[in-house]
């Protein structure tokens, strides 16, 4: 069965483990018996598991590949990890999907090599009928602490805001700070766990940040993509380039990441945290989803003071509530242009 057909069955099971044969029959326009036979052959091939019988039968997806390897970092190249461990697992998937995997795996393994300070890195890959997952983990300093230290940030949570803006690197001589920004947007799920923080980017959902009570050393990055995804690396890059330009000129900043739990965005210092490094971009889209309201001083600092000091930057708020829009309009009245 090709990747697309297999992923369709996988999606039916992922959505609901029951009445899979009936839904498969409907989706494919085949008889219920033919659908059951197809499921039976997938069970025999070890692709799915079946429990119960009759109306109570339930299906589950099985990993057809699951492999974890550990590599000493000294002398390691990210391309080698890609070619040896990951490329063979995805070799039959569509070209756009392989392109995303090549990008994500090499960027995240390169990060462990160049930034973690760890002596080794573990790379795991698992594939089922619906999707493939890769995780990269090291035992180094931890990404959020490293960024906190480099920028002298008061709170490690601010590191996530800097990563979300893009073009952030602690090693500008050798890097451009684009690895996590673009990789995170290519996958259906992308998460980073480090220390007590857990950052999650899900396609079509606002980014979220959790705090955990137990804190782990090092950094764990998890990437997951459906095997029949139609996304391409190109379309993700193009989203952040301005028309007629090929460079990374535009960013979308989830403003809610500047708002820590239980806080409201009211002060000038919060505004300065938000606008830090905006001057690296020509266009900054401010995504206000999850932000109910903002205070006058915050709005004034972002939309009047910062804008007046940087008239060349286009700042565009999106997904703002009425209360937020009103505050922004009020601040913009005082703009000197």
**Cβ-based nearer residue to Mg ion, 76 or 297:** 76
Q: Residues 82, 90, 97, 111: which binds Mg ion (CB under 5 A)?
A: 111
User: Minimum Å distance from CB 139 to ligand ATP?
Assistant: 10
Measure the CA dihedral 161/165/227/134, to 10°. Answer: -50
Using CB under 5 A, which of the segments 138-146, 177-185, 212-220, 221-229 binds Mg ion? 177-185
Structure tokens at 139: 């035992």
Residue 179 in contact with Mg ion, rule: CB under 5 A = yes
**Cβ-based nearer residue to ligand ATP, 171 or 292:** 171
User: Minimum Å distance from CB 236 to ligand ATP?
Assistant: 14
Residue 77 in contact with ligand ATP, rule: CB under 6 A = no
CA–CA gap between residue 200 and residue 190 (Å, rounded): 6
CA–CA gap between residue 263 and residue 161 (Å, rounded): 15
71 binds, among ligand ATP, Mg ion, none (CB under 5 to 8 A by kind): none
Q: Residues 128, 132, 169, 307: which binds ligand ATP (CB under 6 A)?
A: 169
3-class SS string, the chain? CCHHHHHHHHHHHHHCCCCHHHHHHHHHCCCHHHHHHHHHHHHHCCCEEEECCHHHCEEEECCCEEEEEEEECCCCCHHHHHHHHHHHHHCCCCHHHHHHHHHHHHHHHHHHHHHCCCCEEEEEEEECCCEEEEEEEECCCCHHHHHHHHHCCCCCHHHHHHHHHCCCCCCCCCCCCCHHHHHHHHCCEEEEEEEEEEEEEECCCCCEEEEEEEEEEEEEEEEEEECCCCCCHHHHHHHCCCCCCCCCCEEEEEHHHHCCCCCCECCHHHHHHHHCCHHHCCEEEEECCCCCCECHHHHHHHHHHHHHHCCCCEEEEECCCHHHHHHHHHHHHCCCC
User: Minimum Å distance from CB 162 to ligand ATP?
Assistant: 8
Residues 200-259 that bind Mg ion (CB under 5 A): none
**Cβ-based nearer residue to Mg ion, 10 or 179:** 179
**Cβ-based nearer residue to ligand ATP, 138 or 228:** 138
Is the Cβ–Cβ distance between 327 and 295 less than 8 Å? yes
Residues 66-85 that bind Mg ion (CB under 5 A): none
User: Minimum Å distance from CB 113 to ligand ATP?
Assistant: 9
**Cβ-based nearer residue to ligand ATP, 129 or 253:** 253
Per-residue interface string for the shown chain with ligand ATP, residues 207-246, x marking contact by CB under 6 A: ------------x---------------------------
260 binds, among ligand ATP, Mg ion, none (CB under 5 to 8 A by kind): none
Residues 90-109 that bind ligand ATP (CB under 6 A): 107
Residue 247 in contact with ligand ATP, rule: CB under 6 A = no
Using CB under 6 A, which of the segments 25-33, 127-135, 162-170, 278-286 binds ligand ATP? 162-170
Is the Cβ–Cβ distance between 183 and 97 less than 8 Å? no
User: Minimum Å distance from CB 192 to Mg ion?
Assistant: 12
- State the residues that interact with ligand ATP by CB under 6 A: 107, 111-112, 115-116, 138, 140-141, 143, 146-147, 168-171, 175-181, 219
- State the residues that interact with Mg ion by CB under 5 A: 111, 179
């Amino acid at each position: 069965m090709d990747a697309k057909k297999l992923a369709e069955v996988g999606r039916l099971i992922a959505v609901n483990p029951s009445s899979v044969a009936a839904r498969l029959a409907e989706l494919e326009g085949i008889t219920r018996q033919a659908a059951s036979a197809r499921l039976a052959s997938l069970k025999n091939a070890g692709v799915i598991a079946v429990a119960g019988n009759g109306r109570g039968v339930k299906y589950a997806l099985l990993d057809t590949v699951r492999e974890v390897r550990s590599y000493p970092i000294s002398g390691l190249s990210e391309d080698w990890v890609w070619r040896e461990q990951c490329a063979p697992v995805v070799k039959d998937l569509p070209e756009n999907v392989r392109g995303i995997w090549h990008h994500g795996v090499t960027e995240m393994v390169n990060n462990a090599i160049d930034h973690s300070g760890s002596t080794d890195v573990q790379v795991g890959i698992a594939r089922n009928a619906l999707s493939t997952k890769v995780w990269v983990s090291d035992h180094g300093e931890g990404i959020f602490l490293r960024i906190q230290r480099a920028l002298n940030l008061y709170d490690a949570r601010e590191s996530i805001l800097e990563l979300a803006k893009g073009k952030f690197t602690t090693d500008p001589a050798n890097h451009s700070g684009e690895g996590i920004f673009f990789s995170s947007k290519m996958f259906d799920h992308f998460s980073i766990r480090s220390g007590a923080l857990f950052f999650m980017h899900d396609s079509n959902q606002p980014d979220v940040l959790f705090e955990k009570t137990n804190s782990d050393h090092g950094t764990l990055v998890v990437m997951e993509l459906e095997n029949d995804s139609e996304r391409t690396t190109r379309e993700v890059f193009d989203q952040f380039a301005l028309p007629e330009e090929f460079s990374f000129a535009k960013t979308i900043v989830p403003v809610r990441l500047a708002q820590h739990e239980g806080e409201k965005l009211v002060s000038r210092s919060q505004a300065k945290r938000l606008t830090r490094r905006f001057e690296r971009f020509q266009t900054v889209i401010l995504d206000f989803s999850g932000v109910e309201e903002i205070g006058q001083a915050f709005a004034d600092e972002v939309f009047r003071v910062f804008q007046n000091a940087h008239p060349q930057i286009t700042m565009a708020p999106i997904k703002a509530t009425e209360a937020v829009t009103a505050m922004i309009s009020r601040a913009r009245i005082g703009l000197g242009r």
